[in-house]
Every structure is written in structure tokens, then in C-alpha cells.
Amino acid sequence: MSVEKSGKQPMQTKNKILIAAVSAVVIVGVALGIYFGVHSSNKDSNNKDESKTNNSNLPTTTSSALPSPSPSANPIPPGQNGTMINGTLFPYYTLTGPAPAPVGVPGMVYTMCKTPGTFSISFDDGPSAYTHDLLDLLDKENLKVTFFVNGNNEGCIYDPTVQSVLKRAFNSGHQIASHTWSHPKLTSLTVDGITTEMTRLEQAFMDVLGVVPRYMRPPYGDGTFGNGNANDQKVQGTLKNLGYVITTWDIATTDADIDDNNNPHKLTDEALMKAEQFQYTSVINAAAKGTTHMALHHDTYERTVKLMAPWSINYVKGLGYKIVPVATCLGDEDPRTWYQKIGKPAATTPTTCTK
């Protein structure tokens, strides 16, 4: 028994010494871990404070009359492009920073482009059954134009088919402008009548697209030129008060006058194209080299869309011009300046127009 006791005592002593040593190592390790953890935390905290300090020195974006995009607050829906403004997708263009001050002056009448080397091609009275074909052509050519749209003329703007064409044009990056609600001669109306023609269409544009245009074209150019109707102060003053830039043209294909679809009077395709092309070439050949132009067409005519539009594009490009929307050729290159208001379209819209 005594031998067994004397043999165990040295082993117990060694175990105690080993346990004490291990404990000491653990204590030191924990202490070092705490030290470096606190040191690292303080370093990260200092770095964050420096980051905040540096960011506070960055310039802030100034506000403007027109809305600036807010991509982080309004993510773009999958499969679409553009910039979110005021909670709705403003299509096609990637826009950053505040919008520039508009160049086009409300109430002023423009008949020609101002930016050298530009040429605007525009289409009135639609959308129509032929506008999809025109948009196909413009997509293929990678061109942007201006559509001067009526509310209830060739078709009702609230008709679902018309809405779809209008939305396609807008989403493709074309400029949408006003051509009045029902296409009247504005000089025949009172100030209240002119106002109603414009504001009724404004409401429709807001319902369908979420925008109110800044640019308009008077039907027939009435109130801007012509015998007894040039520089009509009632018309121009009312449009100015409503915030509209007035644009007409210096080249008219006259398709609305000569493309008569009644068979007894209908021109052949060849005769029609010869007459309409002359409207282009005669004006351009008579003008000084480098003169800018605004050309008027109507997308309500099949032959305009399928024959004249392709010819016009090739002819103008061959002369070295850059084809752009009306607003762009006047200096309003940022599409936010094409509109007086950008907001959210209506969740639901009417499907018919009422007189």
C-alpha cells in the first residue's frame, strides 16, 4: 500500500503543474484577443468617422424646376430601360443630375431648327393604324422624331389600341407634343376655347403617359402664318400663358392635301411621291447651304409611312443632316425639357372619348 502511495504523489504534482501552465497560456491568449479586438474595433470606428467626414465635403446636387432622377429610390423594372422620375419610368434615356433650363421660349413661334446640322422630321394627327409601321422604320434607322398628337381627331387617344401605339412611341424615346384635342382652327376659338383644347389633351397625356408637353403645333399653322391669321396675339398669347413653345415648319409634304384616298381622284404612287418630294427638294435647294429645316408629315396616311418617310430619311441623311426631334433641334437636348410636367400615369384610364 505504501509503495502505491509513494508512486502516485509525483504524478499528481506533475499534473497540477501542467494544468497551471495550460491555464496561463489560455489566459494570455484571451487577453491578447481582447486587446487586438478592441484595437481593431477602434480602428474601424475611426475609418468610418473619416469616411463620414470625407463624404460631408462632397458637393450636393442643387434643385431645379424640373425633376432630377432618383434611381436608388425608384428602381427600374426588370426588362426596361430609362430613368425613374417622380415614381414613374421616364423611358429610353439615362438621365443624371438636375435638368437644364429649357431653351425653347413659351409663346415664341419656331419654323426652323436652331442647332447647326440638324433637321427635324415630325408627324401630325396620329397615332393611327400606320404608326406601328412607322415606329418599326424609325427603330430600324435608330432615329428619334416628334409626334404632334391629337386627343380626338383621327382616333380617340383613350382607345386602348391608340394608347398602346402612343406608349410605344414615348417608350422608344420619341418626343410627344400637343396638336390640340380636336384639331380646330385656333383663331376661330375664344381664349377659353383654346385653353380647353389644350388642357383637355394635357389631362389625357397625364392619364396615359404621365407627362404634359411643352411643345405644340397649331393645326394648319393657324395663328402663326397665313392671310389674316399671321401672328395672332390671342392664339400666341394664350399658348404662352399655358407654357407652350409653338413650332410649325418650313417644309410641308402636303400629304394631307394631295393624298386623297377616294379612287376617282387618287394619285398614283409615282405621281404622289413626285409631288411630295418636290416640296422637300424645292425648299432645300432654294435655301443657303447649311440651313436647318423642320419638315411636316402625317402618320395618318399609309403612303406617307411606307413611301415618303423612308425617302425623306434617306434624302436628309444623304445631305449630311442629323435627324432629331423638334425640341432637340431647337437646343432642348435633355428630354426632361420637352415636358412641363412629369408624373405618374393614371392607374386606370377611360377607353372612349366623349364630345
Determine what percent of the chain is predicted with pLDDT higher than 90.
67
- Specify the CATH number for the domain of residue 241: 3.20.20.370
Q: Classify residue 75: in a domain, yes or no.
A: no
Q: Which domain holds residue 207?
A: 103-342
Task: Give SS3 for 216.
Answer: strand
- State yes or no: pLDDT of 68 exceeds 60: no
Q: Classify residue 221: in a domain, yes or no.
A: yes
User: What is the number of residues in the chain?
Assistant: 355
Q: How many domains does the chain have?
A: 1
Instruction: Determine the residue type at 9.
Output: Q
* Band of residue 229 on the pLDDT scale cut at 50, 70, 90: confident
* Band of residue 20 on the pLDDT scale cut at 50, 70, 90: very low
Instruction: Determine the residue type at 137.
Output: L
Q: Classify residue 54: in a domain, yes or no.
A: no
* Mean pLDDT score, 217-224: 96
Q: Classify residue 98: in a domain, yes or no.
A: no
CA angle in degrees (0–180, nearest 5) for 299-209-223: 55
- State yes or no: pLDDT of 199 exceeds 60: yes
Q: List the beta bridge partners of residue 146.
A: 122, 175
Specify the pLDDT at position 52. Answer: 34
Specify the pLDDT at position 88. Answer: 74
Specify the pLDDT at position 191. Answer: 98
Mean pLDDT, rounded, of the chain:
82
Contact (Cβ atoms closer than 8 angstroms) between residue 210 and residue 216:
no
- State yes or no: pLDDT of 244 exceeds 60: yes
Give residue for cell 387618287.
266
Task: Give SS3 for 23.
Answer: helix
Specify the pLDDT at position 74. Answer: 45
Q: Classify residue 247: in a domain, yes or no.
A: yes
Determine what percent of the chain is predicted with pLDDT higher than 70.
76
Q: Classify residue 242: in a domain, yes or no.
A: yes
For residue range 91-123, what is the model confidence (pLDDT) as tens digits? 888 888 899 999 999 999 999 999 999 999 999
Q: Classify residue 45: in a domain, yes or no.
A: no
- State yes or no: pLDDT of 41 exceeds 70: no
In the chain, what is the greatest distance between 2 CA atoms, to the nearest angstrom?
Answer: 139
Cα separation of 335 and 100, whole Å?
10
Contact (Cβ atoms closer than 8 angstroms) between residue 303 and residue 272:
yes
* Band of residue 262 on the pLDDT scale cut at 50, 70, 90: low
* Mean pLDDT score, 312-334: 97
Catalytic residues: 124, 298
Cα separation of 153 and 27, whole Å?
89
Instruction: Give yes or no for a cis peptide into 127 (omega within 30° of 0).
Output: yes
Cα separation of 180 and 193, whole Å?
11
Q: Classify residue 297: in a domain, yes or no.
A: yes
* Mean pLDDT score, 68-97: 68
pTM confidence score: 0.78
Helix-then-strand count for the chain, H and E: 10, 13
